[in-house]
Chains A and B, each alone.
Chain A
Amino acid sequence: MDVTVIATESLSKRFPRVTALDRLSVDVGPGVTGLVGANGAGKSTLIKILLGLSPATEGRAEVLGLDVATEGAAIRERVGYMPEHDCLPPDVSATEFVVHMARMSGLPATAARERTADTLRHVGLYEERYRPIGGYSTGMKQRVKLAQALVHDPQLVFLDEPTNGLDPVGRDEMLGLIRRIHTDFGISVLVTSHLLGELERTCDHVVVVDGGKLLRSSSTRDFTQTTTTLAIEVTDTDEHPDGTRAVREALHARGVTVQDGSGLPGAGHILLLTAQGEDTFDLVRDVIADLGLGLVRMEQRRHQIAEVFTNDTDAQRKEAVGHGG
């Protein structure tokens, strides 16, 4: 099934003082797609245009094969939207609120109630759904926001920063839920975030925008292959008073370029290198073991937008990772 869910063609949106979107052309297929960009990169503007709520200055866009300029109402009937900000009245229960939103999407009263019960259960809200939303935790509120976006069984949902404000556990649960929206519910997802690392784990495809321009659009697999950065920290021993340096030299000898983690917390103790598949992990392990050092950590760094920048401009040079400036 190779259909295009979202297609934009030199889509631009200019406000008197800023250009929010600059000739953005991108095709998005079914599945979970991440839309990554720093704050102000144009993510929310793009969603607004795709919902048919804000006309594009130029270019065109289609959602589910419908033109955003002329068929906004039909699009909004088939998609769901979860805003970034709080949007829940505190004095009604989740059930009442979601039922109302289901009816606002056009579901008859009985269907609205059934779908609400189902959807709230699917997002993980049980007994608490009868209590006023005002008393919910941030995680529960995010689930209600998600439920109102899913209650009318849309073909596509726009999730604007769904992990905002969540603790690590809540974040993981939300990401798992987003994955299930596609795998279990069969609904395509466009999810925005400013953390690339977070989307890598959830999305099939990642679109990176910056300053309203398309920086990159590729499947997550490509992303991880080209940009996996390992951070390593080792202990010092009597034999190697500067363990970090010893590892760097040993790795150099084996032909691996290593960067200092300058600018990061613990700079001077952290080494960064580009992982090229499983072999790099084994190599690092062996090198450190040979030196008799303790491995404090070896982790995949979460990628920030800035790295995509560097990788994009220096795409040919694989070693170029984590330039400070």
Chain B
Amino acid sequence: MAAEQSLQATTPSGDTRIHNIGYRSYDGPRLGRSYARMSLYSQSLRGAYGLGRSAKSKVLPMLLFVVMCVPAAIMVAVAVATKAKELPLDYTRYAIVMQAVISLYVASQAPQSVSRDLRFKTVPLYFSRPIETADYVRAKYAALASALFVLTAAPLLVLYVGALLAKLDFTDQTKGFAQGLVSVALLSLLFAGIGLVIASVTPRRGFGIAAVIAVLTISYGAVSTLQAIADVQGSGDAGILIGLFSPITLIDGVQSAYLGASSAFPGGVGPDRTEGLLFVLVTLGLIAGSHALLMRRYKKVGL
């Protein structure tokens, strides 16, 4: 009886509001786990370019995308204008040259993708729904890798279309383009994995950004310095193997061994096919390792 009295007292304004439209229950389809995973993937992918987020968060990813594509457009313009026999830069080299932009993109978007969920504790809301840890990790990983692939493959597409317009050799260009795509696909997976692992450790976005930049640039700086020293001292083989210790030189090694790329290693000498195998294994190992670390990280998060 007391409960009834107080119930009336708790909703004094109930009648003056537009509450009583009536509740409609939902009888439609529930698409379950794989659909939820796809939804998280597409939301994260869109989010990586600021779509569905505030105008402010669109600025940086869009800007980096433009910065990535402009040099390609200029090269194409030059090639067409000068009727050059080939493009000024190989497809496979493009990402290596533009690595600073790619690193910046990973540093800004990896924390955006995972640190926010940790910081604002949105993760429990995901895990109280049909998806599981593995779905969350795969959706986030796939989304960032896809975003990176878009970022790195778009300029290659510009180059390719431009090359065909300039009537360069079709077979040559198609082969180069395909090799470039394989290379940036690998690069996207590798960078996304490293970026996400670092970002998932901290709920603070700023730390995440700084840490990703630090890992990518310091490792590259250290590796290229050591390689230069090794080159001067004439121990070229050691120099090549030092390339295993930074993500961008890893990709460089893989593509110069297997994808017909000219290496950015000192002296332009990349790993040969046997050494290249090591580069491939380390790259794949890092990708698988990143995935495993992310799985472990989110096992603990729970509610």
Chain A residues close to B by CB (< 8 Å): 44, 47-48, 51, 53-54, 73, 76-77, 79-81, 83, 85-92, 96, 100-101, 103-108, 111, 115, 118, 121-122, 124, 132, 148, 152-153, 172-173, 175-176, 179-180, 184-186, 200-202, 220-221, 224, 228, 300
Contact = CB atoms under 8 A, between A and B. Distances in A.
B303 A105 contact: no
B36 A101 contact: no
A91 B54 contact: yes
B78 to A, nearest CB: 41
B43 interface: yes
B7 to A, nearest CB: 6
Contact of B39 (A103, A186, A224): A103
Contacts of A101: 125, 129
Contacts of B130: 73, 76-77, 105-106
Contact of B120 (A87, A148, A152, A200): A87
A222 to B, nearest CB: 12
B2 A96 contact: no
Interface in B123-144: 124-132
A108 B31 CA distance: 7
Contacts, number: 143
B19 A122 contact: yes
Contacts of B3: 200-202, 220-221, 224
Interface stretch (B20-28, B102-110, B148-156, B236-244): B20-28
Nearest to B20: A184
5 contacts: A79-B128, A85-B121, A107-B26, A108-B28, A202-B3
A48 B11 contact: no
Interface of B: 1-3, 6-7, 9-11, 14, 17-19, 21-26, 28-33, 35-36, 39-40, 43, 52-54, 57, 116-117, 120-122, 124-132, 302-303
A36 B7 CA distance: 19
Given A83-B121, A173-B10, A53 B303 contact: yes
Contacts of B57: 91
A322 to B, nearest CB: 18
B120 A106 contact: no
Contact of A104 (B10, B14, B39, B121): B39
A191 to B, nearest CB: 14
Contacts of A176: 7, 10-11, 14
A104 B303 contact: no
Contact of B28 (A91, A111, A148, A200): A111
A101 B36 CA distance: 9
A54 B299 CA distance: 11
Contacts of B31: 106-108
B2 A87 contact: no
B10 A105 contact: no
Contacts of A83: 121, 124-125, 128, 303
Given A96-B52, A148-B125, A176-B10, A104 B40 contact: yes
A92 B40 CA distance: 15
A120 B83 CA distance: 61
B122 A88 contact: yes
Contacts of A107: 26, 28, 30-31
Contacts of A153: 25-26
B47 to A, nearest CB: 10
Given A47-B303, A86-B121, A107-B28, 8 more contacts: A53-B128, A53-B303, A73-B132, A101-B129, A104-B39, A179-B10, A201-B7, A202-B7
A138 B153 CA distance: 45
A318 B170 CA distance: 95
Contacts of A76: 128-130
Contacts of A92: 52-54
B168 to A, nearest CB: 43
Nearest to B38: A103
Contacts of B18: 121
Contacts of B28: 107-108, 111
A106 B32 contact: yes
Contacts of B7: 176, 179, 201-202
Contacts of B121: 83, 85-87
Contact of A103 (B6, B14, B36, B54): B36
Nearest to A86: B121
Contact of A172 (B10, B26, B30): B10
Contact of B10 (A88, A152, A175, A220): A175
Contacts of A47: 303
Contacts of A300: 2
Contacts of A51: 128, 303
Contacts of A85: 121
Nearest to B127: A53
Nearest to B43: A100
Contact of A106 (B35, B132, B303): B35
B53 A105 contact: no
Contacts of A201: 2-3, 6-7, 10
Given A48-B302, A96-B52, A228-B2, A105 B127 contact: no
Contacts of A48: 302-303
B58 to A, nearest CB: 12
